[in-house]
Structure 1
């Protein structure tokens, strides 16, 4: 089994893996550039067989959410932790957010 968490949080490669910086995956023309260290679906013999369907579904789901809602942190509450709940898969810590319908 690959240590996906270890790959994605390697400070030698990512420098600041705890910081949300999507621009690290964009080239000078603001187009997606692949990084061989980005392996959200695993690799080798154990790569997720539903990778393409999951990617399409996730893109569609997130686009619909972003078109219809605005997300805000809850005032006076800490931002969500980046430390996962470790199990067979990694999951997020519980957190709260304010979701506002767009008009």
Structure 2
């Protein structure tokens, strides 16, 4: 897998997790908290759109850039998994 695909995986996991969190908060009646959760959903959606429009993935970069880029993919995938876990826990707790 290249870096772009890993970014997409992490962002999709985060988007699903944030949507599940917002839905579970709405069902539980916590509307104000659900509105705050929409911010995370918006962030994941905009970032996901940005991955497909960036052209710098197609260029040849220095070794340090590629290492930092792979580090970023690891962070994004970890955050996506964390957000998915938060979504599942909130769904199980509130619904």
Higher relative contact order (CA 8 A, sep 6+): 2
More strand by share: 1
What is the TM-score normalised by the length of structure 2? 0.30
Structure whose CA Rg is larger? 1
